[in-house]
Amino acid sequence: MATVSTKSRMDKIGVKGGMRVAVMGVKDPTLSAELAEQGAVPVSELANLDILFYAADSAGELGRIEALVPMLAEKGALWIVSIKGKAATVQHAEVIDAAKARGLIDNKVVAFSPTQTSLRFTRAKAVAAAEPAAEPVA
C-alpha cells in the first residue's frame, strides 16, 4: 500500500527561507504565496539564484535553457515545469536531453500540480583533476 506524503510542495522542491528564487513563465495561482510562506526571497535580478522555476512546453522553450544556466548560483537549481500526461507537448526525455546538452544533470522529479510535472537540474560537479603519476624511483 502506497503512503501519501505529508510534505508540502515547497518542502519536496527544497525551498528554504532566505533562498533567492525567480519564476519564469510558470502559471500557478498559489506558487507566489507558497514561496512567501516558506520564506523564500523572490527576486527580479536574475543572477545568483538558488532556485529558478522555468516553464518549458515547447522545443523553443527548451532551447532557452542555455541562457538560464548563468543565472543560477553555484549550487542553484533549475526546476523545469511542464505539462504532464496526454496533454504534454514535451516529454521527460526531451527535457532531460536539452538540459544535459547545457551541462546540467537531472536529480529529482516532483509532481508540481495535478496537470504539471517538474524536473530539477543542477550543474554537474566538477571532476577533480587527476593527480600526476609519481615518478619511479631509480
Residue count (the chain): 138
Measured in degrees and rounded to the nearest 5, phi and psi for residue 98 equal -65, -40
Q: Determine the Cα–Cα distance for residues 138 and 128; give it in Å rounded to an integer.
A: 29
CB atoms < 10 A from the CB of 22, how many? Answer: 20
Give this prediction's pTM.
Answer: 0.86
Cell numbers 527561507 correspond to 17
Per-position pLDDT tens, the chain of length 138: 666 668 899 999 999 999 999 999 999 999 999 999 999 999 989 999 999 999 999 999 999 999 999 999 999 999 999 999 999 999 999 999 999 999 999 999 999 999 999 999 999 875 434 444 445 554
In this structure, what C-alpha cell is assigned to residue 31?
A: 506558487
Q: Closest Cα to residue 124, out of 80, 84, 81, 74?
A: 74
Q: Return the pLDDT at 125.
A: 75
Cell numbers 533562498 correspond to 19
Query: Using H for helix, E for strand and C for coil, what is the string for 15-72?
Result: CCCCCEEEEECCCCCCHHHHHHHHCCEECCCCCCEEEEEEECCCHHHHCCHHHHHHHE
